Structure formats: C-alpha cells, structure tokens
Amino acid sequence: MKHERLKTKDCQGQFLLEAMVALGIIIIGLLSIFAFIGRSLSLNRVVADQLTGSYLAAEGVEVVKNILDGNILRGQPWNSGMGSGNFELDYTSPSLVPDQGRRLSFDGQTGRWGYNAATPTNFSRTVRIRMIDSDEIRVNSIVRWASRGGNYTVDVEDHFYNWRR
C-alpha cells in the first residue's frame, strides 16, 4: 500500500504540466490561423488590384479602338488624328490627350474611371501609340500602381490595321 501512495505523490505536478503544454499548443494553433487569415486578406487586396489594373489597361486599348472606329464612321482616314507618343485617355476621350502623369480617379456614384472624377486612386495609365506604317498602329496600354509594399505594372498590347485599303 505504501508503494501506491508514493506513486500518487510523485505525479502531483503532472496535470499542471500537461495543461500548460496543451494550452501552448492551442495558442500556437490559434495564432497560426489568425496569421493565415491576415495574409489571405492582404493577398485578396493584391489580387483585386491586379484585376482592376488589367481591366484599366484593356480599357485604354478600347478607347483607341473607339477613336479609330469613329474616324471610319465619319468618313475620315482610319488613322486621322493619330500620332506616335504617350497619351492619357479615358472613356470620354474623343481624341488623343498628351500624357501628363496624372493618376486615374474613380467616381463611386457612376462606377466609372477617369481623370476628372472625385476620388483619386493609386492607378495611373499611359497609352503608348506607335505608327508602324500607314496601315498599322501598335498600341500599348500601361497601368501602374503601388499596393501592399510593391509596385505593379500591366501592359496590354494590340495592333490595329487599315483593313479597308
């Protein structure tokens, strides 16, 4: 009987030690989950910005296409008003506007991007036009922004041809 008593007496602090180890494991697990969630949320913002940058770059090419289509509809030469250079264009641009290095703004009421909207953003867009020859124009729409400790760029390129010649 004495032997059993000694065995019980030797294990008195074991429960406290096991509880501390279990609590430590639970705390480490919770901290890992919170770190993962925080990282996921920050990556979500980066991905959303990349998607926005891609759409803004595509819009720059579309604005040039609309100007070229407008020339044809008005019976003008297909590349009327076009010239090589860097330009600032938005969906309201009827013609080429020289690049001034301004940031794009977002109008929350209309959901449209432009240079005259109320809320400036981190995005800037330069539309680079190169006249390859009289029948070809190369357009690069370059969108730049800074987000979450990094600088990002999206460059969309398209070529337009005088298909009516």
Three-state SS string across 87-141, please? ECCCCCCCCCCECCCCEEEEECCCCEEECCCCEEEEEEEEEEEEEEECCEEEEEE
Q: How many domains are there within the chain? A: 1
CB 138 within 8 Å of CB 159: yes
Residue 9 pLDDT class (50, 70, 90 cuts): low
Task: Give the rounded percent of residues in the chain with a pLDDT score beyond 70.
Answer: 92
CA distance 151 to 146: 4
Residue 82 domain boundaries: 2-161
Predicted local distance difference test score (pLDDT) of residue 90: 85
Residue 163 pLDDT class (50, 70, 90 cuts): confident
Q: Coil, strand, or helix at residue 86?
A: strand
Instruction: Give whichever of 65-69, 112-116, 118-122, 148-152 has the largest mean pLDDT.
Output: 65-69
- Say what the pTM is: 0.76
Cβ burial of 88 (10 Å; 0-12, 13-18, 19+) is buried
Distances (CA, A) of 79 to 70, 95, 107, 163: 10, 11, 31, 11
Least confident of 35-39, 59-63, 77-81, 87-91: 35-39
